[in-house]
Chains A and B, each alone.
Chain A
Amino acid sequence: DTEVTQTPKHLVMGMTNKKSLKCEQHMGHRAMYWYKQKAKKPPELMFVYSYEKLSINESVPSRFSPECPNSSLLNLHLHALQPEDSALYLCASSPTLSDRRPNSPLHFGNGTRLTVT
């Protein structure tokens, strides 16, 4: 069982739709991440939140809008997406942003598989 929960598991949306991806963790972690993964490719970092503030935005198009309403919840709002945005979107969390403790790896969720038609 994963300690990072992502919903929905699958999402199909049209290019004019507005939808949101949700990520939740109850481990007390204060850093949360969005990654995008295309088929047979490694994950690519999109956004990092630290203590509910956006810390890193890897030049992601504005049609992706992250939100961190509280320390347990991370959303990714989607609007006017393109077919090439179809991918697996992974959420992850870690205790803090620059935690150097040996037992603090990133915890990943199972992802949302997004298809844009």
Chain B
Amino acid sequence: AQTVTQSQPEMSVQEAETVTLSCTYDTSENNYYLFWYKQPPSRQMILVIRQEAYKQQNATENRFSVNFQKAAKSFSLKISDSQLGDTAMYFCAFSTSGGGADGLTFGKGTHLIIQP
């Protein structure tokens, strides 16, 4: 069974600052996928970024990037130039399927607050 741990229940930063959300996981699988999802007050779960375990290069999507350390089983999310609209719950998630299609294992989430 897989486990995903997010050790920061809540974080608060000023607008335009850079913030890093941490995530660690445990698995015996060799091929897997990691995701960061964002859930704003609108409630919709929005995929922010994904990483394939077999790729050494860290994934990036505009202001969002990850630091994937496979040996340490660590998958942190860095948000650069943070914006008010980044305020949301952020969930780290794990799956053995590329699209998370066999169900996602989520961490407990980090509530990120961007202050004006």
When A and B form their complex, what is the total count of cross-chain residue pairs whose Cβ atoms lie within 8 Å?
Answer: 75
- Residues A42 and B100 in contact, CB atoms below 8 Å apart: no
Q: How many residues of A contact B (CB 8 A)?
A: 31
Interface pair B44/A110, CB less than 8 Å apart: yes
Are A40 and B98 neighbours in the complex by a CB distance under 8 Å?
no
Given A42-B91, A42-B106, A45-B104: A106 and B47 interface contact (C-beta under 8 Å): yes
A100–B50 contact, CB under 8 A?
no
| Contacting pair A88 B108 (CB below 8 A) | no
In the bound complex, do residue A110 and residue B42 qualify as a contact, i.e. CB atoms below 8 Å apart?
Answer: yes
Q: Which of A20-28, A69-77, A91-99 contacts B (4 or more CB under 8 A)?
A: A91-99
The answer on a CB contact under 8 Å between A108 and B44 is: yes
A contact residues vs B (CB 8 Å cutoff)? 2, 31, 33, 40-43, 45, 48, 56, 58, 88, 90, 92, 94-102, 104-106, 108-111, 113
